[in-house]
Amino acid sequence: MKQHHAEATLIFDVSEHDFAQRVLEGSRERPILVDFWADWCAPCRVLTPILERVVHAHGGRVALAKVEVDDNMRLAGHYRLRGFPTVILFRDGEPTDRFSGARHEHAVREFIDSHLGAA
């Protein structure tokens, strides 16, 4: 699935190699949700399209980085992930909040909105 350039900066895959630059540094410009997922994880396959829809709906105010945990175990260990999917919100280079497990779209919107405040 090809991504348009604007979408590629809004929703992107990230690994241990570019996490610091794309997520930690990038979160100084706007909040970044990081979706820690695994191919074998059924709830992950449910949550990812929901995260993508909600990020698009926020019109660039928040970005989404996707980390495949089997290929990036050090990141999963560093952030002490207990289960998947786990979503961590990064702001100003720091993890500020998280949730684990699949969520309904309205719950994901509320999670993001609670951190963005009024437009």
pLDDT at 7: 57
pLDDT at 94: 97
pLDDT at 37: 96
Is 65 a catalytic site residue? no
Q: How many CB atoms lie within 10 A of CB 16?
A: 14
Residue 38 Ramachandran class (φ > 0 left, ψ -120 to 50 alpha, else beta) = beta
Distance (Å, rounded) from C-alpha 73 to C-alpha 90? 19
Domains and CATH numbers, the chain: 5-116 (3.40.30.10)
List of the chain residues with pLDDT < 70? 1-8, 118-119
pLDDT at 85: 96
Is 41 a catalytic site residue? yes
DSSP string, 5-67: HHHHHHEEE--TTTHIIIIIIGGGTS-EEEEEE-TT-HHHHHHHHHHHHHHHHTTTSSEEEEE
Choice among 11, 32, 34, 44 that is catalytic? 44
pLDDT at 1: 40
Choice among 41, 47, 67, 87 that is catalytic? 41
pLDDT at 8: 63
pTM over 0.85: yes
